Chains A and B, each alone.
Chain A
Amino acid sequence: GQNIDQPTEMTATEGAIVQINCTYQTSGFNGLFWYQQHAGEAPTFLSYNVLDGLEEKGRFSSFLSRSKGYSYLLLKELQMKDSASYLCAVLPGSARQLTFGSGTQLTVLP
């Protein structure tokens, strides 16, 4: 089966940097995605990693290590609007649909 783990909750201060970790064990691997989801809204695509290394996109960066089954999402210069749930999702090798982790609820404090 597929297993994706992320911390349930994190808290950080406005202007700070936060790193959200994700570990996964899947049968095959075709990429890892990070989504942001505000309560009651649709998940919004943030980043995609399929090769090892760091992908940077403005204030957000995502890192992948396939050998360790590990990824992290790095958020810099935190803003209040970054308070949301961050979902790690993996595209296993055998299937074409994303498998989601339970999400990390990030709260940004003033």
Chain B
Amino acid sequence: AAGVIQSPRHLIKEKRETATLKCYPISRHDTVYWYQQGPGQDPQFLISFYEKMQSDKGSIPDRFSAQQFSDYHSELNMSSLELGDSALYFCASGERNTEAFFGQGTRLTVV
């Protein structure tokens, strides 16, 4: 079965630019999560969606927004990028209150 698909795998942006990351969850999973992982750090929860509605919000900057579409794919929009936004961004999907399955991540580099 296909896993969580993220695109792009790598992204290089300049400061103050905008980036959009996409996530295609596993079929029939009702929850999508976004995590940010800096070098040598644990994944930090950003935001989640349950049945296409925003469910929980973690340490997501106001410059970031996310949504989940009718086909269940999700997008993380990042504006006014800063050098500190350089990180691995993981999307995960799961069924409510069960384990999350992670995508391969998008490596964002802000220069």
Contact = CB atoms under 8 A, between A and B. Distances in A.
Nearest to A35: B102
Interface stretch (A15-23, A55-63, A66-74, A91-99): A91-99
Contacts, number: 55
Interface residues of A, number: 22
A96 B99 contact: no
Contact of B45 (A35, A48, A98, A101): A98
A50 to B, nearest CB: 9
B33 A30 contact: no
Interface of B: 31, 33, 41-45, 48, 50, 55-56, 58, 88, 90, 96-105, 107
Given A45-B101, A97-B33, 15 more contacts: A35-B102, A40-B88, A41-B104, A41-B105, A42-B90, A42-B102, A43-B43, A87-B42, A91-B97, A95-B56, A96-B97, A97-B56, A98-B33, A98-B100, A100-B42
